[in-house]
Amino acid sequence: MASYLQIENVEMVFSTRKGRFHALREINLQVQRGQFVTLIGHSGCGKSTLLNLIAGLTRPTGGALICDGREIAAPGPERAVVFQNHSLLPWLSCLDNVLLAVERVFGASEKKAQLKARAQAALDLVGLSHAASKRPHEISGGMKQRVGIARALAMEPKVLLMDEPFGALDALTRARLQDELMKIVKATGSTVVMVTHDVDEAVLLSDRIVMMTNGPAATIGEVVEVPLPPLSEGPRSRLELAHDSAYLQTRERVLEFLYRKQAHLEVQAA
């Protein structure tokens, strides 16, 4: 079966004032439809750069990225991005912030009532129907991120891209949104690629964890298959996983890579 998202021999070199900076090298990755994949690694390893390449926000200096059989050459509604900063327009309500994205994708083919229904359905999906008329300053940080997720889902993307979407939130809010995200993935069957620094978050949410080597010229060091039931079968219970041997072994493997193998290389490079 052909992969839904294919990354083939991707290289990324930036031109800077100090010369050329080789950010990524020989990136090869395949993601199947409906998989939840996380990218993890130390700061500067190119996780967000790789996500931006998948989003089409930047073009690779070598190699190719293909989504659903088409080369990624620019941003497109089939690849929606959720950033750490929710980027909501403060003068618009939650519903209208979502409606903007809906109008961009479906405005030429659907009537206003249909567009509004799409936006409302997306808010319902993230549990924010009660806040549809509120403006961003009237809701919490966690709720703002849920609006951002609703806005992305309302576009019905083929791939949902998330760049540390919960990184700025407190631990309890982060946990609640992780649980919400698992429910959303179950309901929508979304293909997700997410950047995170959090090992527990990666193991809890992922079908596969892509571990990046340290930069510069970072690449994929290891890919871990998470031996837990896929999110398509339903949300995972963090309480049950606290004593699950498969969860603990996967967590240990990721920690081993990040804080022994890559930490050692980082010391050598210094």
Q: CA 103 to CA 154: how far, in whole Å? A: 10
In this model, does residue 65 exceed pLDDT 80? yes
Dihedral pair phi/psi, residue 21, rounded to 5°: -115, 115
DSSP 8-state secondary structure symbol assigned to residue 17? T
Q: Confidence class of residue 265 from pLDDT cuts 50, 70 and 90?
A: low
Contacts of 5 (CB under 8 A, 6+ apart): 29, 30, 31, 54, 65, 66, 67, 68, 159, 191, 193
Grouping H, G, I as helix, E, B as strand and the rest as coil, residue 195 is: strand
Average pLDDT, the chain: 89
Dihedral pair phi/psi, residue 162, rounded to 5°: -130, 120
**Domains of the chain and CATH, by start:** 5-78+159-269 (3.40.50.300), 86-156 (no CATH)
Q: How many CB atoms lie within 10 A of CB 92?
A: 14
Q: CA 37 to CA 207: how far, in whole Å? A: 6
Q: What is the Rg, in whole angstroms, of the alpha carbon atoms belonging to the chain? A: 19
- pTM score: 0.89
Q: CA 215 to CA 221: how far, in whole Å? A: 11
Q: CA 165 to CA 156: how far, in whole Å? A: 18
Grouping H, G, I as helix, E, B as strand and the rest as coil, residue 18 is: coil
In this model, does residue 119 exceed pLDDT 70? yes
Contacts of 119 (CB under 8 A, 6+ apart): 95, 96, 98, 99, 102, 150, 154
- Please give the average per-residue pLDDT across 98-119, as a whole number: 89
Work out the percent of the chain whose per-residue pLDDT is above 90: 53
Asked whether the beta carbons of 33 and 4 are under 8 A apart, the reply is yes
The H or E element spanning position 209 is strand 208-212
pLDDT tens per residue across span 193-215:
999 999 999 999 999 999 999 98
